[in-house]
Structure 1
Amino acid sequence: MKALAGMVVLTATLLAGCESGDIKKAKADVSNELRDPSSAEFRNINEIKKTSVLELEVVTVCGEVNGKNAYGGYVGFQRFVSQPKSDRVYLENSWNTFDSLWSRHCSDA
C-alpha cells in the first residue's frame, strides 16, 4: 500500500513539472488580472499552436480560472484566452465578444 501511495505522489510530482513556459507565463498573466492573484485556481488548460499568415508560430493558451472576490469568496470558474508572447489576456466575464474569441482561438481545445 505504501508503495502505491509513493507511486501516486511521484507521478503527480513529475506531471506537475511538465508545463511549458507558455503555460506558466499565461497562468501568471491571467492571475495578475484577478483581484487576488494568489488565489487563482486553474483547470482545463490547453496550449494551441497555429501558424500565422507570415509563417510564424502563434501560441494561445485557453482554459478556466477561478479567483477570490473582495469578500474572500471564490466567484466560480470563467474561461480565459491568453497569448503569452504578446501579453494579451481575455477573461470571459470582461469581454462582450468573448464567445467569438474563444471559438476562433480555442477551437482545438
Structure 2
Amino acid sequence: MLRKFVAVFAISTLLAIPVVAQQGGKYSAFVAKAKYQLTRDFKDPSSAQYRNAAVYKNSDGKISLCGEVNAKNSFGAYIGFVPFYADETSHTIKQEGDDVVFPMLYRLTCETKLSAVK
C-alpha cells in the first residue's frame, strides 16, 4: 500500500513539474519589455539591479512590474535602490521629495502579486 502511494505521489510530482516551469515563465516577455522601458534612459542600463521585483495586477486588470531598482550614475557609482512601477509602454520611478503622489499610485498600481521576478 505504501509503495503504491509513493509511486503515485512520485508520478504526480513529476507530471506537475512542467506546469510549475510554465507558470514561472508566463510573464517573462512582459518583464523583459517592462525592464527595457524602465532602464532605457539610464546612463548604464546593464548595471540595473532589482530588489523585491514582482508582477502585479491592479483592480482594472492592468499588469505592472513593481519593485526597487538600483543603477550606476555618470560617475559609475550605484545610486541606491529606488521604488518603481513599469509596464510595456511607461514607467515611474520615485523622485526625491515625492512622498505623497508616488506612494498612492504605487499602492493602486501594485495591488495583487502574481509572480516574483529575479
Aligned partner of 2:37: which letter?
A: D
Contact 2:38/2:90, CA 8 A, preserved across alignment = no
Q: For residues 25 and 95 of structure 1, do their structure 2 counterparts lie closer, same or farther at Cα, with a shift above 3 Å needed?
A: farther
Q: Which residue does the alignment assign to 2:110?
A: 106
Secondary structure (helix, strand or coil) at the match of 2:62 reads: strand
Q: Which residue does the alignment assign to 1:20?
A: 28
Structure 1: runs of 5 or more not aligned: 1-13
Q: Which residue does the alignment assign to 1:58?
A: 62
Aligned partner of 2:94: which letter?
A: E
TM (norm. structure 2) is 0.63
Q: Which residue does the alignment assign to 1:93?
A: 95
Which structure has the larger Rg? 2
1:93 Cα deviation from its structure 2 partner:
2.1
Structure 2: runs of 5 or more not aligned: 1-20, 114-118
Q: Aligned residue pairs: how many?
A: 88
Aligned partner of 1:36: which letter?
A: D
Please give the root-mean-square deviation of Cα atoms over the aligned residues, in Å.
Answer: 2.3
CA distance in 2, matches of 1:95, 1:58: 27
Q: Show CA shifts across 1:9-51 (max 9, x none).
A: xxxxx8xx83521111111111113222121111211112346
Identical amino acids, percent of aligned pairs = 32
Q: Which residue does the alignment assign to 1:76?
A: 80
TM (norm. structure 1) is 0.68
Q: For residues 60 and 93 of structure 1, do their structure 2 counterparts lie closer, same or farther at Cα, with a shift above 3 Å needed?
A: same
